[in-house]
Amino acid sequence: MRVLLVLLFAGVSLTADGVLPKAFGDDAKPADSSPHPVFTDEQRTHWSFQPPTRAPLPTVKDTSWPRQPIDNFVLATLDAHRFHPAPPADRTTLLRRVTFGLTGLPPSRRDIESFLADDSPEAFARVVDRLLASHHYGEQWARHWLDVVRYADSLGGTANFPFANAYRYRDYVIRAFNKDKPFDRFVLELVAGDLLPAGDAEVEADRMTGPGALLLGPYILNDKVDAAADQIGMLTRALIGMDISCSRCHDHPFEPLTTGDFYALAGIFTSTESKRFERDLVLPGGDKIRVLSVKEGKVENLKVHLRGDPKTLGDTVSRRFPVILAGRSQPKLNDKQSGRLELARWLTRGDHPLTARVIANRIWQRHFGVGLVTDPDNFGVSAVAGPSNHQLLDWLALHLVDRGWSLKALHRTIVLSATYQQSSSTAAVSASNPQSSTRDPRTTDPMNHLLWRQNRRRLEAEEIRDSLLFVSGQLDLTMGGSLLARLGLGNAAELKKNNRLQLVVNHFGNILQRSIYRPVIRTELHMAELLQAFDFPGRDEATGQRQASTNAPQALLLMNGPFVLDQARHSAEDLLADQRLDDRARVQQLYLQSLGRAARSDEVTAAIEFITSWNRGLPNTTGAKDRRTMAWQSLCQAMFMLNEFVYVD
């Protein structure tokens, strides 16, 4: 689609059938349906098409700095550039960073006080273990995964039919992450769960729900090749960092991916029944539910659609995997099955060149703001740059596989590293190492590619909303559920008719659970005003990395938004309700809850002066109690507007 838009803007017209003229199709670059395409040496030897290799840990000058093997790779690179790493972050900054990173919520006042009171060497490790064991961990990291599989609760478009049972897949992902389901098993269930061996009720629920992501695209009700293209695009971007659906109409212009590769994979998915297919399941507790799922269909090999035109057919392509990754001599797929099970097993091989690297990079990206491969969705030849530290990326991928594909083990290794625990302050670097023999990384590596400090990041939309509810005491910690189900809106309930969309809007704002539990209604994302303002992605395509914009509407929303004002009022009422506190103690509590740190004495004084001045400015017709509440509400709102509230250092 992106290529098509570029051509249209360049003045290229479509034919009457809506396809590209021959000059831009198979005559310009013939579609290669052969299982033996010709690749250049550069393509064949590209780093990401080779299995990860195990390099020895690099030697470093300061052997006291590394806490994890990760640190040896980072410090060796810094040594080579004569850089010095930043000093460690202070304890409150580190606690706020890791708590948001692993759970998407700020640390509570009790968490802060407990951590600061624990001066043992294992204090931070205990915090990490507690956060990984929290059910909030699954809610945070499922949210990232739902971006990648373009999760939504409706089809979008003019009719915008609901996916009434999509939330079952969402809850399955949260549950899988909380249980630390091995990632290879998670991928097997995603691609071919229905074809895995049967088990107990829990196994059955997971393996039948896992493929639900295949049915959540905006084109699932289109013709079978459209639906297959959407499924291939999602799966290949999510799992191997390459979009093979781009070779549907022609050989990929930049990657060693042929039209034959696309139709070979498409045959696997057109041999699968997936249009609104649902299964009835019995949960371990005995409850009966219905989930989106798939089943085997009529097995077929597809003919190439020349230039994407279904009326102009080329050679038949046997179902197989991309040649550049799986080789020219591949075992023939089972004639009686789609091939999804073989695909799933191939993707989860320990020596697969991409699967472990891609998910390891996604996790690294979330902890550092940028991946070792900058674009988490593009590991191909066309990527802007290769990995900033190739040996480190391979170490992470192999470490993941060695640990039984445990994502929690990978998280733990990363956040316990000295690299992760560095300060994000640029000023701290020069202050910690004034020696003339060390180069200043602020001028030679201003983008911090070599990780001489931690990166500061803005909270994502859901983290901001959830934090406001958490600080105000209004967050509903109930897990699961569906607004569409509560409103009785099934798959056939076209949202644009009979005032159904307005019904959803009327109830949408009353959901005080974490943001992941609110429905994502395609083409109607504006109903989530705060989320949209802070770059919640459209869910028509996979999103591996969100934008982090800074604009006036964001500031205005924090200043005037009804939701923000309500949370400021609730926060003020909670502070004033505790009669054991004086105003200075209330300010300290507000700082701990909002910013994760104690207020300095000058900040306390300024806050008290602000409240006093605000009180005086209110009309005498307002009761004293109301004036006091309004003054504290204004202070709470001012805290919510601080950069320090919406950024993590």
Tell whether the model's pLDDT for residue 371 goes beyond 90.
yes
Q: What is the pLDDT of residue 18?
A: 38
Query: Which of 311-320, 437-446, 484-493 shows the lowest per-residue confidence on average (mean pLDDT)?
Result: 437-446
Tell whether the model's pLDDT for residue 352 goes beyond 80.
yes
Share of the chain above pLDDT 70, in %: 93
Average pLDDT over residues 1-19: 38
The reply to whether 180 falls in a domain is no
Q: What is the pLDDT of residue 35?
A: 63
Q: φ, ψ for residue 499 (rounded to 5)?
A: 65, 20
The reply to whether 643 falls in a domain is yes
The reply to whether 590 falls in a domain is yes
The more confident residue out of 186 and 159 is 186
Cβ density class 528-557: b for 16+ within 10 Å, e for less: bbbbbbbbbbebbbbbbbeeeeeeeebeeb
Average pLDDT over residues 270-287: 88
C-beta of residue 256 within 8 angstroms of C-beta of residue 37 = yes
Angstrom distance (rounded) from CA 501 to CA 405: 42
Average pLDDT over residues 136-143: 98
Average pLDDT over residues 327-335: 92
The reply to whether 262 falls in a domain is yes
Average pLDDT over residues 160-177: 96
Query: pTM higher than 0.75 for the full model?
Result: yes
DSSP 332: P
Q: What is the pLDDT of residue 33?
A: 60
**How does residue 331 score in pLDDT terms, banded at 50, 70 and 90?**
very high
**How does residue 430 score in pLDDT terms, banded at 50, 70 and 90?**
low
Torsion from C-alpha of 327, 332, 336, 342, nearest 10 degrees: -30
- List Cα–Cα distances, 347 to 122, 235, 298, 326, in angstroms: 37, 10, 23, 10
Pick the last residue of a domain from 339, 371, 389.
339
Q: What is the pLDDT of residue 623?
A: 83
Average pLDDT over residues 129-137: 98
Pick the last residue of a domain from 306, 339, 372.
339
Token pair, residue 575, equals 């502070």
Pick the last residue of a domain from 315, 339, 363.
339
How many domains is the chain partitioned into structurally? 2
Token pair, residue 258, equals 């042929």
Average pLDDT over residues 36-56: 91
C-beta of residue 420 within 8 angstroms of C-beta of residue 426 = no
- List Cα–Cα distances, 299 to 111, 143, 212, 263, 296, in angstroms: 56, 34, 20, 14, 8
Query: Which of 237-251, 424-438, 603-617, 633-647 shows the lowest per-residue confidence on average (mean pLDDT)?
Result: 424-438
The reply to whether 429 falls in a domain is no
**How does residue 437 score in pLDDT terms, banded at 50, 70 and 90?**
low
By DSSP bridging, strand 302-305 and strand 313-317 are antiparallel
Tell whether the model's pLDDT for residue 174 goes beyond 90.
yes
Tell whether the model's pLDDT for residue 7 goes beyond 50.
no
Q: What is the pLDDT of residue 617?
A: 81
Tell whether the model's pLDDT for residue 396 goes beyond 90.
yes
C-beta of residue 362 within 8 angstroms of C-beta of residue 527 = no
Average pLDDT over residues 467-483: 97
Q: What is the pLDDT of residue 10?
A: 36
Q: What is the pLDDT of residue 20?
A: 36
Average per-residue pLDDT for the chain: 91
Q: What is the pLDDT of residue 75?
A: 97
Model confidence over 485-512: pLDDT tens digits? 999 999 999 999 999 999 999 999 999 9
Query: Which of 276-285, 298-307, 554-563 shows the lowest per-residue confidence on average (mean pLDDT)?
Result: 276-285
**How does residue 32 score in pLDDT terms, banded at 50, 70 and 90?**
low
The more confident residue out of 617 and 82 is 82
Tell whether the model's pLDDT for residue 481 goes beyond 60.
yes
**How does residue 213 score in pLDDT terms, banded at 50, 70 and 90?**
very high
Q: Which domain holds residue 589?
A: 557-648
Helices (DSSP H) in 495-623: which residue ranges? 500-508, 529-533, 552-560, 562-577, 583-595, 601-617
Q: What is the pLDDT of residue 11?
A: 38
The reply to whether 206 falls in a domain is no
The reply to whether 294 falls in a domain is yes
- List Cα–Cα distances, 47 to 31, 128, 373, in angstroms: 26, 33, 12
The set of residues, in sequence order, having a beta carbon less than 8 Å from that of 126 and lying 6+ positions away, is: 118
Average pLDDT over residues 131-141: 98
How many secondary structure helices (H) and strands (E) does the chain include? Answer: 29, 8
The reply to whether 497 falls in a domain is no
Angstrom distance (rounded) from CA 227 to CA 240: 19
Share of the chain above pLDDT 90, in %: 80
Average pLDDT over residues 94-98: 98
Angstrom distance (rounded) from CA 101 to CA 215: 29
Q: What is the pLDDT of residue 350?
A: 93
**How does residue 439 score in pLDDT terms, banded at 50, 70 and 90?**
confident
Tell whether the model's pLDDT for residue 91 goes beyond 50.
yes
Among residues 448, 395, 392, 459, the alpha carbon closest in space to that of 422 is found at 448
Tell whether the model's pLDDT for residue 286 goes beyond 90.
no
Burial tier of 311 (Cβ tally within 10 Å: 0-12, 13-18, 19+): exposed
| DSSP string across 289-303 | EEEE--EE----PEE
Model confidence over 549-583: pLDDT tens digits? 999 999 999 999 999 999 999 999 999 999 999 99
User: 65-70: long-range contacts (C-beta < 8 A, 24 or more apart)?
Assistant: 65/418, 66/417, 66/418, 67/416, 67/417, 67/418, 67/421, 68/413, 68/414, 68/416, 68/417, 68/418, 68/419, 69/395, 69/399, 69/413, 70/392, 70/395, 70/396, 70/413, 70/414, 70/417, 70/419
**How does residue 260 score in pLDDT terms, banded at 50, 70 and 90?**
very high
Tell whether the model's pLDDT for residue 9 goes beyond 80.
no
Q: What is the pLDDT of residue 602?
A: 96
C-beta of residue 86 within 8 angstroms of C-beta of residue 71 = no
Tell whether the model's pLDDT for residue 539 goes beyond 70.
yes
Q: What is the pLDDT of residue 619?
A: 78
Token pair, residue 83, equals 């850089």
